[in-house]
Chain A
Amino acid sequence: MRSIFKTGATALAAATMLSGVAYADGHGVSGPLRIFSDMSNPAPRAVMEDMVARFTAENPEVEVELVITDREAWKTQIRNVLQSGTADIVNWYAGNRMAPYVDAGLFMDISDLWEEGGLTETLASTQGSMTMDDGIWGVPYTYYQWGVYYREDIFAELGLEAPTTWEEELSNCQAIIDSGRACYTIGTKFLWTAGGWFDYLNMRTNGYDFHMDLTAGEVEWTDDRVRATFENWATLIEMGAFIADHQTYSWQEALPFMVNGEAAAYLMGNFAVAPLREAGLSDDQLGFYQFPQIDPSIEPGEDAPTDTFHIAANAENVEAAEAFLLFVASAENQTLINNGDNLGQLPVNANSGVDDDEFLNAGFEMLSNNAGGGIAQFFDRDAPAEMAQVAMQGFQQFMVDPSTLDQVLQILEQARGRIY
């Protein structure tokens, strides 16, 4: 994707003067503020409405118009909303998913807000994933860990421990298969779940930096290191580690296999915990472990997708929008909205507290102390949209029939040549 804007933008950036807006305290703003949110599931919706209520309590002069759109539908509707200029603030995702809107000049650069609002310190961990083209384009409000959620009772029954090395992983898996179960449940009908597996296998086999180079289009898909990742994957596939017919299921439809004990584990984001608990698994039955290492010399990289707020470039009430973003980013707010009664995820602000939940604690501990490689967003947020689409189709194809690997890699390499 090319942009008519790229040229000249950097050349003139030096001459750019930042507009002097009084956002330092966030008070004294007024007027209508139009927010378009994709937090449409029941818990996030309540969080969003509560945030607006608390913000207007602090800033009684601001009249917020909140529109909440279905989360899936929003992925395509954001284009119309941003272009029609009907929104001041929108929800979106960090990483490369911002690229089309940053390139088209539809998001507002808020580097100065980060600088003067102190966000460069409190939100430092995600500054990289919000930065693009020398600007910072939004603020994060939540993120969540990925990892392996497993049936502790099944592991105990078979006398297994959570694996930390690839050898343990394979021997565990063999034991689970011998007991008549699959090691992992997965539903790849909508493709992205396979992207999670690729992320982890590639980050463990080749490291975080290599993974980032690959998603940035700087490495050939036919490279031997990429093949090594797929070979590790093929080892699991060929021993029967994954449930059969996964290409027919969505990620939710794959949950019952784990609940019924037909599969022992699930590589997923922390949002899988809630439905697993609702399906009747107690915290004694459900455990979490970090994806095991493959090459001991490689620092583990982790997936932790971040959800964000952005100011539209054609926003009419920029002052109020900035005040709202500072409010969202505050430690106090992030502690509240991410606790177990609300989103049940991890706060981004370094000064906020993590709710006392087994899985949130495990995730926070892992991301803080054991993700030395780096933190990735997720395959479909790190790679450009078109590459993500075709690559995830390739992952699914490969998982169904590993013998088609050469053909898959050829297609991905051709796509890389065209896209970047």
Chain B
Amino acid sequence: MASVTTDTPIHSNDPAPRAKISQQAIAPWLFLLPAFIFFAVYVIIPIFQSFYISAYEWNGLYSPEYRAVAGSEMTDLECTELGNRAARTEGCEPTGENVWTGEYVGFENYRNLWSDPFFWTSLKNNVIWLLLYFLAIPGGLFISLFLNQKVFGMRLYKSLFFFPFVLSQVVVGLVFSWFYLPNEGLLNEVLSWFGGPRTNILGSNDYATYGIIAAGLWPQTAYCMILYLTGLNAVDPEQIEAARLDGAKGPKMLWYVVLPQLWPATFIAIVVTVIGALRSFDLITIMTNGGPGFYNTSVLAFYMYDVALSEFGFRMGYGSAIAVILFLIMMVYIAGFLWKMWRDEKG
């Protein structure tokens, strides 16, 4: 953290140097406090709660708590044991509190995950997403090189290429599901011109995931393109000039002169692409709802939602176990990212 300096030097005859110093020490923390509180409440504490809940079997519901009315023949214990009948029993009254109904099962949820084929399908799809999403980086680089010219109307072309990134993921998902429609869809229309067979991409166990990834790549490529366009502005023209004098051109120029200078942009592009690949939930929900069949296009985040929070999902503990696994996988990446930041800052 950068140290705080003020314009006024602290003189020994200052009326209250002590107060000033402590002010300087406290002020940054005070400014950080709201962020810390929200980060703790919405991120840190829920992480530990997920760990905790993953050791329980719990349907996500709390039950109202009952106690005996003073002076009645019932006891608190009897009222509690009446359970769903206590509300109608004379002598018992609700305390206004809710009690947690989880049951401790230790590592049972994790053992079940291990033998759960849908968990492995989802994990496999996560890996496919991560790998294929990286295509957005060379794609974005290519388009940005192509657009980095001085031609009349170039700003318009740039905005058109950037357009998909402005759309919400839900809209992208809808547009692509219409594009893939088995009868009226544009894709099949085009395929039929070339005599290709009609395919129902999103209805096929084999292609559906790839179809969704292609939809996701559309805005992601635009994002990488913008990153590279800004990066290209910062490329040193003198170095290009010097390289040209030395006879470098084409791929050599790109690889040895331009790309190294684009490294900061590439780094950010990698970071946002990994994050984008893990945010695939909304596209999957819109385009296939996890199907066809048994979770064929599901990823871990979708599977977690489906078992714990969806219309038929009542397995909070199991969902938390999936969340923990997802968290641990992300940790590897986050740790790598932090390490790299730390190394860069050091020197």
Give A residues with C-beta under 8 Å from B.
1-9, 11-13, 15-20, 72, 75-76, 79, 82-83, 85, 100-110, 112, 133, 135, 189-191, 244-245, 247-248, 313-314, 380, 385-386, 388-390, 393-394, 396-397, 400-401, 404, 411, 418
Contact = CB atoms under 8 A, between A and B. Distances in A.
A244 B182 contact: yes
Interface in B58-107: 59-64, 78, 81-91, 94, 96, 98, 101, 103
A83 B62 contact: yes
B88 A100 contact: no
B313 interface: yes
B314 A1 contact: yes
Contacts of B57: 2
B276 interface: no
Given A76-B310, A135-B85, A247-B292, A106 B63 contact: yes
Contact of A389 (B90, B203, B292, B312): B312
Contacts of A313: 64, 84, 87, 94
B295 interface: yes
24 contacts: A1-B314, A4-B63, A4-B83, A8-B83, A12-B78, A12-B82, A16-B88, A18-B89, A18-B90, A104-B62, A104-B63, A104-B84, A104-B101, A106-B61, A112-B88, A245-B183, A248-B181, A248-B200, A313-B64, A385-B311, A386-B314, A389-B313, A400-B292, A404-B293
A397 B63 contact: no
A366 B343 CA distance: 76
Given A12-B78, A400-B292, 17 more contacts: A1-B59, A3-B101, A4-B103, A5-B63, A79-B61, A83-B98, A103-B59, A108-B88, A110-B88, A135-B85, A248-B181, A385-B311, A386-B312, A396-B291, A397-B294, A401-B205, A418-B112
Q: Which 3 A-B pairs have the closest CB atoms?
A: A5-B83, A397-B293, A8-B81
A190 B291 CA distance: 9
Contact of A9 (B81, B177, B182): B81
A104 B311 contact: no
B63 A248 contact: no
Contact of B293 (A8, A16, A105, A400): A400
A411 B88 contact: no
Interface of B: 57, 59-64, 78, 81-91, 94, 96, 98, 101, 103, 112, 117, 177, 181-183, 200, 202-203, 205, 288-289, 291-295, 306, 309-315
A181 to B, nearest CB: 15
A403 to B, nearest CB: 12
Contact of A107 (B84, B89, B90, B314): B84
A411 B84 contact: no
B118 to A, nearest CB: 9
Nearest to A111: B88
Nearest to B98: A83
A247 B291 contact: yes
Contact of B289 (A17, A102, A190, A400): A190
Nearest to A191: B291
A34 to B, nearest CB: 16
